[in-house]
Amino acid sequence: MGTTQRPHDVVVVGSGFGGLFTARALAGVPGVRVTVVSGVNHHLFQPLLYQVATGILSSGEVAPATRDVLRRQRNARVLLGVVEDVDLDAHEVVHRSPLGVVRTRYDSLVVAAGAGQSYFGRDEFAEHAPGLKSLDDALEVRARIYGAFELAELTDDQEVVDRLLTFVVVGAGPTGVETAGQVAELAHRVLPGQFRRVDPARARILLVDPVPQVLPGYPQRLSAAAARELERVGVEIWTGWKVVDVTDRSVTVEDADGQRHEVPTVCKVWAAGVAGAPVGRVLAERAGVDVDRSGRVPVEPDCTLPRHPEVFVVGDLMRHGTLPGVAQVAIQSGQHAADQIRRRVRGEPTGQEFVYRDKGSMATVSRFFAVAQIGPVRTAGVTAWALWLGVHLVYLVGFKNRLTTLLHWAVSFLGRGRAERASTWQQVVARNTLRRTGEAALGSRPADDSTG
């Protein structure tokens, strides 16, 4: 009698860009069985989280269920669980769920667990200045932003009002610039006329970073254009200042000469720095290699773990030369890992170097204004904004998400509405309670399943 050959089991850790594009690239490959293990039940389109935080988009539009995305891929399954260890000798992934610990065997492993927020050794800042790396982050930030305006309506104490209506965004990269720009639009364009005692247009929005200019990775001309637009919409740019302390009532900043200034503020958003997922350090330790300062795992040119050609590390969690931690790196490295696995299953030569094709970068600053660099093209203004809209629509997963996103953009950008303003104080209180007790909801640990 003939024997049935056992499938080649591929375990993908993470459901971000790297994980999802790896799994989809293996659709229909004969003899391959894919298991996606993720601490969250959704694929997160992280570049648009700031729009969830500012009430433009709903969480479902940027975070479709992973099962729904892969529902037609018959060789793929999805398991809910946080990966805590990898047994490189036994070829097993150890992951935790509310039902206990599970060990899943692999023939090939793709670790795409992504990166989370880094507070540069001051993790206590997170209680008062949440990041924008997860859906929980975005919903908490939304509650803090809108909650600040609501609380300001309740008091006649001008000192309290000023503190509530001062918003500080830490980090002048794309996420910080986009967040600050939208908070300014919210305060100066959307909310005026909706309150009776307080004027939202009085709000101050501060963008703080020790770097000398906003969008430091962009050409000087685009950076300057972004700065001018931020100032036009009402953002105060505090470049050259470093945050040295964060409390529930203030942010303390320090300049290059050591001079300190305390800014009274209730609502802070942290958009500076990234740290690799915790599983990266575990994997590196098991393999006998060292992670870098950001917690990224060094990989071979083909994205494999040193001395373990069956293990791939892709996206934000890998250190591959000087590649940046952006969605396109995660997408392309995930697709490369899938191609290497296909070759291995077919008995073809493997080990080809991963070659990243830079498709450019862009950041939106305000309504009808963005900056973009695509190859030799450098542009700022409405043309770049239109390019930004088109690119983000293309990479959103699912026709329904694209359609509803387009409708919400029409409401927000052509009109003055914000369709997704609902928030609850529990979104702030519950997360801080979890932080204080040291407990974490499944998938809510630092740097779990973000863009990678």
Rounded CA separation 194/209 (Å)? 32
- Mean pLDDT to the nearest integer, 390-405: 82
Which pLDDT value is given to residue 445?
43
438 band by pLDDT with thresholds 50, 70 and 90: low
Q: List, for residues 53-110, the tens digit of each pLDDT value.
A: 999 999 999 999 999 999 999 999 999 999 999 999 999 999 999 899 999 999 999 9
Nearest by Cα to 107 from 185, 37, 10: 10
* Lookup: tokens for 168: 């500080």
* Lookup: tokens for 16: 């971000």
Return the C-alpha torsion angle 267, 446, 17, 413, nearest 10: -10
Domains within the chain, CATH numbers bracketed: 8-117+275-346 (3.50.50.60), 123-272+425-436 (3.50.50.100)
Which contiguous run of DSSP H or E holds residue 198?
none
Cβ neighbours of 84 (radius 10 Å): 14
Label the pairing between strands 361-366 and 369-374.
antiparallel
Q: List, for residues 133-161, the tens digit of each pLDDT value.
A: 999 999 999 999 999 999 999 999 999 99
For 130, 264, 289, the CA distances from 161, given in Å and listed in that order, are 21, 10, 51
Nearest by Cα to 138 from 227, 19, 202, 48: 48
Q: Are the C-beta atoms of residues 264 and 250 closer than 8 Å to each other? A: yes
Express as a percent the part of the chain with pLDDT over 70. Answer: 95
Average pLDDT of the chain?
A: 93
Please state at what angle helix 135-152 crosses helix 426-437, rounded to 10 degrees: 120
For this structure, is 150 an active site residue?
Answer: no
Rounded CA separation 303/299 (Å)? 5
Rounded CA separation 249/265 (Å)? 5
DSSP H helices, 12-83, are 17-25, 49-53, 59-62, 66-69
Which pLDDT value is given to residue 432?
76
Q: Compute the C-alpha angle 242/245/249, nearest 5°.
A: 120
Rounded CA separation 276/434 (Å)? 21
Question: Sign (positive/negative) of CA torsion 411, 412, 417, 423?
Answer: positive
Question: Which among 178, 185, 229, 300 is annotated as catalytic?
Answer: 178
Which pLDDT value is given to residue 36?
98
Rounded CA separation 357/372 (Å)? 16
Rounded CA separation 207/200 (Å)? 18
Question: Sign (positive/negative) of CA torsion 397, 398, 401, 406?
Answer: positive
Which pLDDT value is given to residue 393?
87
Cβ neighbours of 111 (radius 10 Å): 32
For residue 451, the SS3 value is coil
Which pLDDT value is given to residue 85?
97
Nearest by Cα to 134 from 437, 396, 439, 431: 431
